[in-house]
Structure 1
Amino acid sequence: MDLYKEAGVDIAAGNAAALRYKSLAAKTKRQGVLGQIGGFASGFALDLTRYPEPVLVSGTDGVGTKLKVAFAAGKHDTVGIDCVAMCVNDILTVGAEPLYFLDYLATGKLDVDVAEAVVAGIARGCELAGTALVGGETAEMPGMYAEGEYDIAGFTVGVVNRSQMVSGERVTPGDVILGLTSSGVHSNGYSLVRKLVEDAGLGWSDRLPGDELTVAERLLAPTRIYVQPILRLLASGLPVHAMAHITGGGLNENIPRVLPEGTTAVIDRQTWPQTPVFAWLLEQSGMAFEEATRVWNMGIGYVVVTSKEAAPQVIEVLQDQGETVYKIGGIAAGTPDVRFK
């Protein structure tokens, strides 16, 4: 008799999941990684010839209630990408290259196939970011989660040379604000999104009004990972005065986080097109655009501030990396805030 299994914890299932994780993590291995998945800890040997004045930068985040959409749709292979994106895009804002990533998956009863799908998404996100999946934790905790539900969180460490850190201190009036488009709602504001879907009487398999995709397909589009294009931009030597990841709080709350005293961001909301999902969210919620930008990214997932003179070249570099970029505003004198026009 397996008393632990009767209590709700299946050690054999955990071991089976760990074996699947190992092969997924192997695809993400990069130079510097020491050891293999399955040990008590992971090591990373930093290349001090490339980073002679290293500053380690860390970040952690989760996916939030977007997971509820995954549960309802029975689709679990993309939320892992979201988890990686939320972490690596954050540390990228100071110019850090993500080196390695760890995940935490917690559930009431472990479904090995679901867990594998989630971690496959995490591994895919790590591949896109060029970071290594070096470990993690799968916790089976009976009674902590509703049947069929789980939570995931991630942690990443990156590195940047101290002299190359992007801090925002170089931002001055006259600078240009460039917006890189998002892939959709990304991973913020889903509590309101789910309420609006419910209020509209839509099912997850229904087509989203004005869109060619179903509600679930559109809302589960994974958060865009900006690491490789931004690292290429930073390597170009073009001036990058500040960067912001547009997450919870939207443009309104995230851009001011990188503005120095004496500056304000002026955003022209007409400079980028409205996508169907945000048009529907605006219509369904009845919110004004400025109010909605405190909840959702409204189509802009990442922001780069550069000089007016360098802006055309910065746009060209990012476009060459497959990004869609708009000049969405500029920096003016004022207090660290965002104004729309």
Structure 2
Amino acid sequence: MSDTDISPQYTLPQTMRAIVLPEPNEKICLADVEYAVPECADNELLIKVEYVGLNPVDGLFAKSGFCKWQYPHILGLDAVGVVVKAGKGVFPGVGTRVMWHASIGDQGALSEYTKVANYAVSVVPAELAGDMAATLPCAGMAALISLDKINITEGDTVLIDGGAGAVGQFAIQFAKQRGADVFTTAAKRNHKLVKQLGADVVFAYQDKDLCEKIRRELGPQGFDAVIDTVGGASTIRNIELMRFCGRIACLNPLPHFEQELMYRRAPNIGVVSLGGAWLANSLCAQQRLSFMGNLLIEGALSGDIKTPEITAVDFNAQAVSAALHKQLDGGFTGKQVVKIST
């Protein structure tokens, strides 16, 4: 008797279509290839992929590469699909639609089939559209981890730098739910959007008098906390805008800090790394991805959380390359989602 369940709805092929990065390159030149359908270990699910959500990190690493990758490498970290093969008794079972944030060190999800550990996925109910679910993992989970890092409580003042980006949009909503007074930066064309999401005060991020205007609005005390989605010089500026011993969650590599600034502000710096759950081989952290996914799905279903506007992307190398360039060019406020199959 077989110790594996296979969906009767599918005849599993030997090969599949995939989009790969032949090697890191500035132009993000990708290739359409045929790969063998992956083999799964005991606790892994074979998924027929339906949608893949694109993120800025996909574009950044397509250009620079990642230390754990072997090439050609399949891109794509956020995905939704249906379980078509699973070990006997493994949950979730065959036929279940699931959502997950994939391991950054392994092959990604831009393929017709992929595998993922069963304990890292979240079940997607039929009431939630698959493409909408694909917008949730990376941005939503990063927002939740950021808020935990800065320990937001009712009445705190928090600056969310880059509020119109996908992480910023989720962070604004979750911060308001926790009772914070939310300040954010965004391009002027996006001020209405972030206000609708709950931001109390919005500043134009390109304003040369930004710091002066923030201090005028906030007063001399500084922010209790900051979610820094931008990085670089913005991180240094944001620490200057914090109160003494304030908290900051950083989603990008840290810049060089002058010693005087560190002594004067004594910031509590938290680094946000979804990929760390996999790279540290932490089963607890990987399971937490599933728990956060459940929370995001619940919020999207109830309407408590508004998801970013979706732009559909075709499943071919040229279209995905153009989409990744669009992610990195700046000014993009929604989520690009590749439709693999339905």
TM-score tier after normalising by the smaller chain length: under 0.3
TM-score (norm 1): 0.23
TM-score (norm 2): 0.23
